[in-house]
Amino acid sequence: MPSAPLRELVASTALRLGPEAPTLCSPWTVQDLLAHLVARESRPDVLPGLGARSGRLADHTASVQRDLARGSALPELAERVRTGPPRWWPTRLRVLDDAVNTAELAIHHEDMVRAQEGWEPTALPADVEAALWRTLRTGGRLFYRSAPVGVVVVAEGHGRASVRRPPADAGTVVVRGRPLELLLHAFGRTDVARVVEEGDPADLASLAASPRAA
């Protein structure tokens, strides 16, 4: 059940850092980030706006999250993240929680940790790392769908996966690292993802300049 330890980790880290601590999701603070996590699994009306950059749906989602952040104390938000969604929410079922939230929780945990000075990578349990590798292996084509080069990800002890075929005029970049680091790279956290990229310099530059998931 890889999502359970991540819920504990997110909650405890948020409380340790405090509500005003910065995150990689600027301008969100830790308080804002936890409000986002709570809203996305308790308010059905915010779901259509989660992936939107602008527009009415995005504005509504942002408004709900702001109200939640302003109207709740951090310990309350942390406890709601730790204990999970209401009984009527689909991801209350553990198998769905693991499938939907493991990567989300892991990435947002690092959004808190790696925005602080002197941060170090989080050591995750083996079953969580394995779950993150499965997410990357199955979802990598979506994450790297806009990449202008081919992409192969390699995690020692887990395997190798081709997640993007190279266009006719480009080569392939091989990205090596732990599953958590690879997932951060796939979701655009390239400045903090501790990975090794191998390939032609032009291909490396093209991949670095390409947008990916937020």
pLDDT digits (tens, 9 = 90+) for 6-30: 999 999 999 999 999 999 999 999 9
Q: Where are the alpha helices (DSSP H) in the chain?
A: 3-17, 30-39, 56-71, 74-83, 94-113, 126-143, 179-186, 201-209
Q: Tell me the pTM.
A: 0.92
The pLDDT assigned to 148 comes to 94
Q: Are 144 and 163 in contact, with CB atoms under 8 Å apart? A: yes
CATH topology of domain 126-209: Nonspecific Lipid-transfer Protein; Chain A (3.30.1050)
The pLDDT assigned to 214 comes to 54
The pLDDT assigned to 76 comes to 96
Give 176's strand partners.
154, 196
Residues of the chain with pLDDT under 50: none
DSSP symbol at 49: G
The pLDDT assigned to 126 comes to 93
pLDDT digits (tens, 9 = 90+) for 57-93: 878 888 888 888 999 999 999 999 999 888 887 877 8
The pLDDT assigned to 213 comes to 61
The pLDDT assigned to 21 comes to 98
Cα Rg, the chain, nearest whole Å: 18
Q: How far is CA 53 from the centre of its chain?
A: 17
Please tell me the distance from the alpha carbon of residue 118 to that of residue 91, in angstroms, as a whole number.
34
All CATH 3.30.1050 domain ranges of the chain, comma separated, are 126-209
